[in-house]
Structure 1
């Protein structure tokens, strides 16, 4: 409406889906932006301070998080139908996208070109619109982010006895819960480091398909025999706000794991991680993966190195 209107217009969109219209209003000529007076919107002062609306103009490039739910993200693009979203928002000003649940696998088919690693994994978490021709290029930064977070946690602990050139997860049993886009990135990364892989998922056929892709095993929850020194990685949404009381595995079972990683980062210290620490496991928060994948995305978005120290400070203050 703002783009095509020939006279001054006040546009009000409310709720979660309305936030992005307020953030981008100045770009498209709006002279009034709504704040908390409308349902689902943050205070106006917060909008101005965080998003610097005084600096937004018609030349502003847009980089946002495409997900559902997406309320926990700072530049939220609440999307139900990913292909329809890209069809509608096709101009070069929509320059880059961080892809979240549940779209990481669907995003693969929406891209005109896909980086070989993302193609191998079968999931995309980063999309760039190439300025020269407007084509969508897909990448995956989740893989290295999750695996290096786990490796560095091992290297900083007393249980790592591997030489510097050998991954501390090589030869270990990597147990994955969840078989979605983030989980695919994790197990492909784990296999690339020499780990053995076992996958649990509520949809057993989906777990089997992923296990076959990485030469791993899919197991039913009641048919698994633990072994010493295992790694547990939760890639499901179990334990995410507002369901912080939930966990993907019982506390007694956690005693079999040497390291526990949880991709959930809201809250930062999930029930799974709290109980894993209580039984003596090394714990790795999803916030660490979140930061590392964002560092990779920043480089793809800007072609420059991210201000890592500043980004860590901001993220850790937020969470």
Structure 2
């Protein structure tokens, strides 16, 4: 990391925004940030209780006791901050912070030139000036973002900063593009969950700051410092880093980054796997079309719809009607869709039966009643997998037409979701839950009556957060063999890794991560 006095476009720092309401809270948070591995902190003076804040006293305490380089921000309400008071008093407080030795002070573009001229900042040394601009969203912006960057650069700032209210993940591509138009160090990111990728990929595109929050004081749209350091290890990211990620809505539940990122590093592969909150598949694929974005996992609710955006679809995925993995073929850039869920789930179920000494007919599932709850993408993968093993499939779904369509495709039967209450499975049946029921944080619900669980030989739950769902706990208590969605997750992730990288997935290494982290 470059020193503050040598800040350049090659600098890389993880910065923690601190918005404490008191000086004591801010001081504690600064030390906590340092212990977690932060390189700098950004303190928001406008968040301090205005009745308690006394600039001369409090800035001396904050800056005199800082354990890390500090960015001082005093954001007015007209720029999205909380400060409503006298403008001159605000500017004087910022100048005082500079005088006291703040490493950086942040000025809004609107006032930066006048401020630097009035306070003759060019005659001083030490603190670096960050000139910033916050934009609510691109749709209301009256000018091209690159024009704003030009204005920010012309202010005479040491560092410029562009913050965008991200309405769509595609907005972040415009943020990344700004780096190529900038001759001075740039901080640029999008806020909110749709802007999350701007923190993970900041260093890939040339950013000097990536922001992270402190565990327990989460800030929407920011990863934790701990995850940036330990899961993503973003200090290793460079311009050649290839990007993989989960396309889903929501994405916060995903454990994929916990598994894929350490595995990529273990195999010496320069890649990163990140969550991508996607609202519109068409927009997403039209914008993120570069060779840098090499592969995607596909989650709820897009496993079926995403087929329309693949140039080619593997025959198994085509027959299932659901894709959970997409790769960008290296030789021609085409998107190819696969389904790694089906084999992963069915092999996990069969291996669990084998482990209990079960054998039957041509396959372990031959002629067994396979009760499937949920006819979405994961459900389709399970239904087709069970059918190929000779099982008799029955499908329940809140959308009866969807259940009927899937049941017809696998020569099974369809029932309405509400019929689960009275459905009596035959002894030795297999139950598979392919709905989000029981997923964190709504962990109390199970898709079938508790009393019916005694009739199932095996219960599988595609949900993997938590590792042992309430459904699995109740099934185990009723005497059934249980299979966690974690096992399916591991197997499909290993198959995805093979497709993403062209390497053989280190399955035992991946299993070790799951046992430790999940």
Distance in 2 (CA, whole Å) between partners of 1:196 and 1:53 is: 48
Distance in 2 (CA, whole Å) between partners of 1:224 and 1:251 is: 12
Q: Is the 8 A contact 2:253 2:440 kept in 1?
A: no
Structure in which a larger fraction of residues adopt helix: 2
1:1-319 to 2 correspondences below 5 Å: 1-4=175-178, 5-7=181-183, 8-36=185-213, 38-73=219-254, 74=257, 75-158=274-357, 160-162=358-360, 166-220=362-416, 221-222=418-419, 224-319=423-518
TM normalised by structure 1 equals: 0.95
- The SS at the match of 2:432 is strand
Distance in 1 (CA, whole Å) between partners of 2:392 and 2:355 is: 22
Greater shift, 130-139 or 176-185, is seen at 130-139
- The SS at the match of 2:498 is helix
Higher alpha-carbon Rg: 2
Deviations 1:125-160 (A, max 9, x none): 0000012221100000000000000000000014x1
- The SS at the match of 2:187 is coil
Cα–Cα, structure 1 residues 301 and 12, in superposed 2: closer, same or farther, change >3 Å? Answer: closer
TM normalised by structure 2 equals: 0.59
Q: Is the 8 A contact 1:2 1:9 kept in 2?
A: no
Greater shift, 5-14 or 247-256, is seen at 5-14
Aligned-pair distance for 1:6?
A: 2.1
Distance in 2 (CA, whole Å) between partners of 1:145 and 1:180 is: 16
- The SS at the match of 1:90 is coil
Greater shift, 215-224 or 254-263, is seen at 215-224
Q: Is the 8 A contact 2:424 2:452 kept in 1?
A: no
Which 5+ residue runs of structure 1 have no aligned equivalent?
Answer: none
- The SS at the match of 1:200 is strand
Aligned-pair distance for 1:39?
A: 3.3
Deviations 1:82-115 (A, max 9, x none): 1211111000100000111100001111100000
Q: Is the 8 A contact 1:175 1:197 kept in 2?
A: yes
CA RMSD after TM alignment: 1.4
Q: Is the 8 A contact 2:246 2:276 kept in 1?
A: yes
Q: Is the 8 A contact 1:70 1:78 kept in 2?
A: yes
Which 5+ residue runs of structure 2 have no aligned equivalent?
Answer: 1-174, 258-273
Distance in 2 (CA, whole Å) between partners of 1:116 and 1:162 is: 28
Aligned-pair distance for 1:15?
A: 2.9
Aligned-pair distance for 1:316?
A: 2.2
Aligned-pair distance for 1:180?
A: 0.1
Q: Is the 8 A contact 1:3 1:29 kept in 2?
A: no
- The SS at the match of 2:331 is coil
Q: Is the 8 A contact 1:233 1:263 kept in 2?
A: yes
Cα–Cα, structure 1 residues 45 and 202, in superposed 2: closer, same or farther, change >3 Å? Answer: closer
Aligned-pair distance for 1:46?
A: 2.9
Aligned pair count reads: 316
